[in-house]
Amino acid sequence: MIKTGHRSSSAAEDYLERIQELIDAKGYARVVDIAESLGISQASVTNMVKRLDVEGLLHHEKYRGLILTDEGERIARAISHRHKILTDFLRLMGVSAQEVERDVEGMEHHLSASSLEVIEALFKELSSNKALLDKIKVASKHSNLP
């Protein structure tokens, strides 16, 4: 996780992830695009972009765009990878799309690398073992968990 000023590292990671997604999709990321995609003000985005620039995670050229540093890109890709693993795992387990989205956003920033490795290994095993997957799905529907 990263620390940026008084803001949570989760927020900074969300920005880095979104910037990388925009760069991958469009070839560039601008403050206006980030604000629109996150549903927040351009002023809020500008403040975070300045902090990320000071932290050495991106370069912001006024009126041009944002470029992630090697470290910023590493963090963004790691968050995207976590997001994908958790999303794929919860979908495999039959969790509704709405719950998956909400839960992944809550989990992705607070999961250790070792826990993520366990979830990824479990996902791979369950993906190739339908009988075990079905057994777990049946068991989870009869548990006392909410």
3-state SS assignment for residue 35: helix
Q: Based on the structure, what is the number of domains in the chain? A: 2
Report residue 61: phi and psi, to 5°: -105, 115
Owning domain of residue 61: 9-74
Statement: residue 59 has pLDDT above 50: yes
Residue 91 lies in a domain: yes
Question: Which amino acid type is present at position 30?
Answer: R
Q: Are 4 and 52 in contact (CB under 8 A)?
A: yes
Q: Does 70 share its domain with 85?
A: no
Choose among 125, 124, 111: nearest CA to 82: 111
66 shares its domain with 96: no
Q: What is the pTM of this model?
A: 0.81
Q: Are residues 32 and 56 both part of a single domain?
A: yes
CB atoms < 10 A from the CB of 6, how many?
A: 6
Name the band, by pLDDT with cuts 50, 70 and 90, for residue 141. Answer: confident
Contact (Cβ atoms closer than 8 angstroms) between residue 52 and residue 58:
yes
For 13, residues 6+ apart whose C-beta sits below 8 A from its C-beta are 1, 2, 75, 76, 79, 109
Residue 49: strand pairing partners: none
The DSSP call for residue 55 is T
pLDDT digits (tens, 9 = 90+) for 71-91: 999 999 999 999 999 999 999
pLDDT at 139: 84
Same domain? 34 vs 56:
yes
Q: What is the CATH number of the domain that holds 18?
A: 1.10.10.10
Q: What is the pLDDT of residue 10?
A: 87
Which 3 state secondary structure label does DSSP give 28? coil
